[in-house]
A and B are shown apart, each in its own frame.
Chain A
């Protein structure tokens, strides 16, 4: 794990909180914490829609397939991997 990826994870957490207007602090989201479903952050399909739009806008990450979105949006870690995979310089 490098500093760039730690920064990126911080950015992603801020993006999640700001775009979904969550009443928590970005630092309260764990890197491996499930974003959806019980035991996780409790996000739903409308939240997923907003995250897909935000990822495209902020990182140019285009997710057109809902099944692919499910995989990418599982955790902050999985989102980070998807962004790095499209932009290895990060």
Chain B
């Protein structure tokens, strides 16, 4: 195989950029499409720095039509799509008793509906190719279900189950589907957390440090590589040892 085409959603965020940089560093044959919706400055800067191997594509992950347009644009340019990293995510924490329905709906729309639409949009190309790698960024919250995150935890648990179910559907066609569950990462997800909350979070981590986006990106890169061809339906925790 020559050029490998990779689409990363939520590419403007810290983890999205780390994922893109990691793939670009991996091989000169990797072409990275940076899926972004409203905020796109950082992704645009990244694409500008490496215009021959990366490009921004408009993508509202909550809209099926937006996915179809983005995938059409990618296929028009490359005639193939090898890797999808469903990274776009959001959270809006509150206790369920006080949670507004729009908060519930909004978090599920981005984190879960977005993964559904994304997988559905790329599968025809991957099925035709008899090859594809889908990596869904879930969260440790999917497994630990912390208080105050019913919307986020439910959405991410849905992503884990979607991953495992879809993996079985397409395994025979040469498409792998895996999920990673990052714990606390040094990213915008920690912004807004005061010092006391950070210390409490840190105390839960046996490694006594927060993860780096690059450490998640390295795992994603592995799941996307040829050597991971027999690995599907797996859920990889990247959390500094939290159980």
Which residue numbers of A lie inside 8 Å of B, CB to CB? Answer: 21, 46, 49-50, 53-54, 56-57
**Residues of chain A with a CB closer than 8 A to B170's CB:** 46
A46 touches B169 (CB 8 A): yes
Q: Which residues of A contact B169 (CB under 8 A)?
A: 46, 49
Docked CA distance A54–B123 (Å): 12
Nearest residue (CB) in A for B168 is A46
Find the A residue at minimum CB distance from B174: A21
Q: How far is the CB of A31 from chain B (nearest CB, A)?
A: 25
18 contacts between A and B (CB under 8 A): A21-B130, A46-B169, A46-B170, A46-B172, A46-B173, A49-B127, A49-B169, A49-B173, A50-B127, A50-B173, A53-B123, A53-B124, A53-B127, A53-B128, A54-B128, A56-B124, A57-B124, A57-B128
New contact pairs (16) apart from A21-B130, A49-B169, CB-CB < 8 Å: A46-B169, A46-B170, A46-B172, A46-B173, A49-B127, A49-B173, A50-B127, A50-B173, A53-B123, A53-B124, A53-B127, A53-B128, A54-B128, A56-B124, A57-B124, A57-B128
Number of interface residues of B (CB under 8 A): 9
B124 CB contacts on chain A under 8 angstroms: 53, 56-57
Give Cα distance in the complex from A25 to B169, angstroms.
26
Contacts of B127 in A (CB 8 A): 49-50, 53
Query: Which residues of B are found within 8 Å of A57, using beta-carbon distances?
Result: 124, 128
Closest to A58 in B: B128
Distance between B84 CB and nearest chain A CB, rounded to angstroms: 16
* Minimum Cβ distance to chain B for residue A79 (Å): 17
A46 to B171, CA, bound (A): 10
* Docked pose: A56 CA to B169 CA in angstroms: 19
Distance between Cα atoms of A23 and B127 in the complex (Å): 19
* Chain B residues with CB under 8 A of A49: 127, 169, 173
A9 to chain B, nearest CB (A): 21
Query: How distant is the Cα of A21 from the Cα of B128 in the complex, in angstroms?
Result: 12
- The minimal Cβ–Cβ distance linking A5 to chain B, given in whole angstroms, is 25
The complex places the Cα of A21 from the Cα of B124 at a distance, in Å, of: 17
Contacts of B158-191 to chain A: CB distance below 8 A: 169-170, 172-173
* A54 CB contacts on chain B under 8 angstroms: 128
B residues 22-72 near A (Cβ < 8 Å) are none
List residues 117-136 of chain B with CB under 8 A from any CB of chain A.
123-124, 127-128, 130
A49 to chain B, nearest CB (A): 7
- Note all chain A residues with C-beta closer than 8 A to B173: 46, 49-50
